[in-house]
Amino acid sequence: MATNAMPRTLDSAAREALAERLRFYRDLGLMDFYRRDVEPLALDSQPEPASGALAAPETQLAEQVLAPASPLQSAPGAPEQLVNFYGEEDAIKTRKNFSVPAIGAVVPAEERATALQILRDEIGDCTRCPLHTGRNHLVFGDGSPTARLLFVGEGPGADEDAQGLPFVGRAGQLLNNMIAAMGLKREECYIANVVKCRPPGNRTPDPEEAHTCSPFLFRQIDVIRPQVLVALGATAATYLLGARQPLAGLRGRVHAFRGMSLIVTYHPAYLLRDPRQKKEAWADLQIAMKELGLQRPQAG
């Protein structure tokens, strides 16, 4: 709707500060945060540009900073959003009356399976990053849509790529044992990865690959809203917490994560290489159990 309000302009320092904040949110995959930043500038205080006129400076800035060159951006002629990050939110909203949860919002338990399926459909036969070229199966995630405990790994390995399921190889066997030691069944938890396609030779995902894929992980987490997340290894910890730090400094305590509790521990593949660290990992899992109100299962 056209208004007579004057366009809001920012001085160059404020523009750079906004751009920096938007880049930070984009890199974390936090779409909701930067929408809050940009939409008031675009919608509340700017006159509708006459057709052919340049968009207001802040809107242009947001578009430059936020819109990645992605096959998911709106097709020409499609109704435009002022800020369009990968286009997923717009597409998901049009289906089955499902609304993407805002941070802190709760998807009712009975709708979570559908919400995850919609997200899976959104990802489709993904070609958003180069990892798709070596993929046999995209590994979306596995487990209960109403899980109270959600594990995040790095990315699929060969076994996972072959089966389309996370943590089904040797590291997965160890993860299953860790879950059983907590007195839980694997199918009661949810398991996902930072990237959904196998990096060649099981290398660590590149930042670009992780930033492209992790918004989907964030959205899975926002649908399930487990009480506790466990980041398995440095890659999961880095992309969930948005800061690269040595694992040692992140383990052994509870981090606040979007209204949930996040615990960082060693990746099971690392524990297979250095079993002496299993004791430390068990200490981390006990922190998770405490957060969940779980007792250590009795032997026998």
Residue number, nearest CB to ligand URA: 153
Q: Compute, in degrees rounded to 10, the torsion defined by CA atoms 59, 61, 63, 64.
A: 160
Instruction: Characterize the bridge pairing of strands 228-232 and 260-265.
Output: parallel
Of 28 and 152, the one with the shorter C-beta distance to ligand URA is 152
> Which residue stretch of 160-168, 222-230, 247-255, 285-293 sits at the interface with ligand URA (rule: CB under 6 A)?
160-168
Q: If binding is defined by CB under 6 A, does position 156 make contact with ligand URA? A: yes
Give min distance, CB of 144 to ligand URA, in A. Answer: 17
Q: Nearest 5°: phi and psi at 125?
A: -90, 75
Contact region with ligand URA (CB under 6 A), list: 98-106, 150-158, 180-188, 204-212: 150-158
Cα gap 121→228, rounded to integer Å: 26
Can residue 154 be called a binding residue for ligand URA (CB under 6 A)? yes
The one among 29, 87, 166, 205 contacting ligand URA by CB under 6 A: 166
Binding mask 267-286 for ligand URA (x = CB under 6 A): --x-----------------
Q: Which stretch binds ligand URA (CB under 6 A): 129-137, 147-155, 181-189, 206-214?
A: 147-155
Token pair in block for residue 75? 């097709």
- List beta partners, residue 150: 190, 229
Does 215 bind ligand URA (CB under 6 A)? Our answer is no
Within residues 190-209, the interface with ligand URA by CB under 6 A covers 193
Decide whether 100 or 195 has the Cβ nearer to ligand URA. 195
- Given a contact cutoff of 8 angstroms between Cβ atoms, the answer to whether 265 and 284 are in contact is yes
Closest distance to ligand URA from the beta carbon of 224 (Å): 17
Residue 171 engages ligand URA in binding (rule: CB under 6 A): yes
Nearer to ligand URA, 143 or 226 (CB): 143
Q: Which is nearer to ligand URA, 8 or 135 (CB)?
A: 135
Which of 143, 153, 199, 226 is the binder for ligand URA (CB under 6 A)?
Answer: 153
Give the CA dihedral 229, 235, 241, 244, nearest 10 degrees: 150
29 is an interface residue for ligand URA by CB under 6 A: no
Encoded amino acid at 268, one letter: P
42, 62 contact by CB (below 8 A): yes
* Under rule CB under 6 A, residue 157 binds ligand URA: yes
- Give the nearest distance from C-beta 294 to ligand URA in angstroms: 24
- Per CB under 6 A, residues contacting ligand URA are 153-157, 160, 166-167, 171-172, 193, 269
